[in-house]
Amino acid sequence: MMDLDIPPTQIDADVQRALTEDVGAGDLSAGIVPGERRARAVVICRQAAVICGEPWVRATLRQLAPAATVTWRVPDGGRCEPGQAIFEVEGGARELLTAERTCLNFLQFLSGIATRTAVFVDRVQGTAARVLDTRKTIPGLRQAQKYAVRCGGGHNHRMGLFDAVLIKENHIHAAGSLPAAFRAAQALAPQASFIQVEVETLAQLEEALAIGVTMVLLDNMPLASVRRAVAMAGGRCSLEVSGGVNLENIRAYAETGVDRISVGALVKDVTAADFSMRFAA
């Protein structure tokens, strides 16, 4: 499994919220099944996908069916073919029926992110550019979504406002100038993993380079300007492209020589992967 880097308590909390929402006071439909009935179920993926979600599935089963046994077939970060079995589970039939939708919801959502990320990552193979996510996540599920990006071969930008500094247009306006904003950010440097400055023009890039900025985000710059920005920087700073990046143009941006490309669509424009659970004989 991929490096999770998420506290188990966070995963348990994610699952508990989902179960409270779905199960509430009890599963009325599962009540029609005799309590002593046991079952074996197989979960398959109906499409080619990159799998993600095992920790959340296991946490769901621990909370609802602690005696169930799970055999996982495709690890997180692994690719599957249409119709391939992802995991098998055996336990009380009632408990498995109640757990089914929550397990599949996490699996389909996170695998959708991992699969989409892998498509973007595949497009930039052979270049030096890394594909990153953004903070455009569903509230309460950011850590899960960023884990899914890693499963798809992407990289994480900052986790939140607390771990790094990104000086954007509004920060510069409120601080009075780019140098003033950057100096204030440097005072926070011991607390920040990095300081990055967003620029929209080549003139702003020149100003950033002049004051010693070492990480620059090129916001919504056309391809020709990005090429000029790479030449201007001459390796003096790390350059990231953001805004307007899609599957049709990401390769061209990567070939300019930028270091990073952040894509909000990895976590906000997600198509769920198609999974199904079936009871087996």
110-143 confidence digits (pLDDT tens): 999 999 999 999 999 999 999 999 999 999 999 9
Tell whether 106 and 214 lie within a shared domain: no
Tell whether 66 and 100 lie within a shared domain: yes
Tell whether 99 and 127 lie within a shared domain: no
- Nearest Cα residue to 165 out of 127, 192, 184, 141: 192
CB 250 within 8 A of CB 263: yes
- Using the predicted structure, report yes or no on whether residue 5 has a pLDDT greater than 70: yes
Rounded to whole angstroms, how far apart are CA atoms 105 and 53? 9
Tell whether 157 and 242 lie within a shared domain: yes
The pair of three-digit structure tokens given for residue 124, joined into one six-digit string: 């930039």
- Using the predicted structure, report yes or no on whether residue 190 has a pLDDT greater than 90: no
CB 23 within 8 A of CB 98: yes
143 within a domain of the structure (yes/no): yes
Domain containing residue 208: CATH number: 3.20.20.70
Q: How many domains does the chain have?
A: 2
108 within a domain of the structure (yes/no): yes
Share of the chain above pLDDT 90, in %: 95
Helix H or strand E segment including 38: strand 38-45
Q: Tell me the pairing of strands 38-45 and 79-80.
A: unpaired
- Using the predicted structure, report yes or no on whether residue 281 has a pLDDT greater than 80: no
User: First-to-last CA distance in the chain?
Assistant: 29
Rounded to whole angstroms, how far apart are CA atoms 207 and 180? 12
- Nearest Cα residue to 54 out of 17, 122, 107: 107
Tell whether 58 and 196 lie within a shared domain: no
pLDDT confidence bin for 235, thresholds 50/70/90:
very high
Mean pLDDT of 54-70: 97
Tell whether 251 and 142 lie within a shared domain: yes
Rounded to whole angstroms, how far apart are CA atoms 76 and 152? 9
Residues marked active site are found at 101, 136, 168, 198, 219
Rounded to whole angstroms, how far apart are CA atoms 109 and 274? 9
Q: What is the mean pLDDT of the chain?
A: 96
Tell whether 153 and 251 lie within a shared domain: yes
* pTM to 2 decimal places: 0.95
| Structure confidence at residue 219 (pLDDT) | 97
| Structure confidence at residue 1 (pLDDT) | 58
| Structure confidence at residue 68 (pLDDT) | 96
1 within a domain of the structure (yes/no): no
- Nearest Cα residue to 213 out of 231, 198, 229: 198
The pair of three-digit structure tokens given for residue 238, joined into one six-digit string: 């790390």
| Structure confidence at residue 206 (pLDDT) | 97
Mean pLDDT of 60-79: 97
Rounded to whole angstroms, how far apart are CA atoms 201 and 218? 8
141 within a domain of the structure (yes/no): yes
The amino acid present at 27, given as its one-letter code, is D
Mean pLDDT of 235-254: 97
pLDDT confidence bin for 92, thresholds 50/70/90:
very high
- Using the predicted structure, report yes or no on whether residue 251 has a pLDDT greater than 80: yes
pLDDT confidence bin for 191, thresholds 50/70/90:
confident
Looking at the DSSP bridge assignments, the partners of residue 47 are: none
CB 51 within 8 A of CB 76: yes
Domain ranges, residue 16: 8-114+270-280
| Structure confidence at residue 142 (pLDDT) | 96
Tell whether 275 and 196 lie within a shared domain: no
